[in-house]
Structure 1
Amino acid sequence: MATIDFPDDLISLERAAWTEIQAGQLTVATAWAVHQAVAAFAEQAGLSRLDVETGLKQAVRHAEG
């Protein structure tokens, strides 16, 4: 899979969701916001939603620090 250039707002949403997940406090609102943003970005970029979601999680959760 090619590297996807994610917009900052999408990265921020996924970071917020990951923080909530790690704290055991993921809210429906946060999960829904990420889902909607991923779907919109995937459609606009002509990519599969699954590829976008997988790449986004990889970028946020496994980023080299």
Structure 2
Amino acid sequence: MADIDFPDDLLALERSAWEQIQAGSLTVDTARAVQEAVTAFAAEAKLSRLDVEMALKRVVRHSETEAAT
């Protein structure tokens, strides 16, 4: 899968959700907002929602690991 150029607002939303997950405080509203944003972005970019979600999580959650390789 090619690299996806995610908009800053989608990255920020996923980062916020990831921080909440790590703190054990993820809300339904945040999770829903991320899913809706991912779905909208995937439709607009004509990409699989699953591929978009996986790539977004990889960028946000594993950016330090990928930067080192």
Under a length normalisation based on structure 2, what TM-score does the superposition of the two structures give?
Answer: 0.91
Higher helix share goes to which structure? 2
Matches within 5 A, 1:21-36: 21-36=21-36
In angstroms, what is the RMSD of aligned CA positions?
Answer: 0.9
Deviation at 1:14, TM superposition (A): 0.1
Where 2:63 maps in the other structure, the secondary structure is coil
Residue of structure 1 in register with 2:11 after alignment: 11
Larger Rg: 2
Percent identical among aligned pairs is 68
Deviation at 1:3, TM superposition (A): 0.7
Residue of structure 2 in register with 1:61 after alignment: 61
Under a length normalisation based on structure 1, what TM-score does the superposition of the two structures give?
Answer: 0.97
Structure 1: unaligned runs, 5 residues or longer: none
Runs of 4+ in 1 over 2 A off after TM superposition: none
Structure 2: unaligned runs, 5 residues or longer: none
> Could you give the per-residue CA deviations for residues 4-56 of structure 1, whole angstroms, max 9, x where no partner exists?
00000000000000000000110000000000000000000000000000000
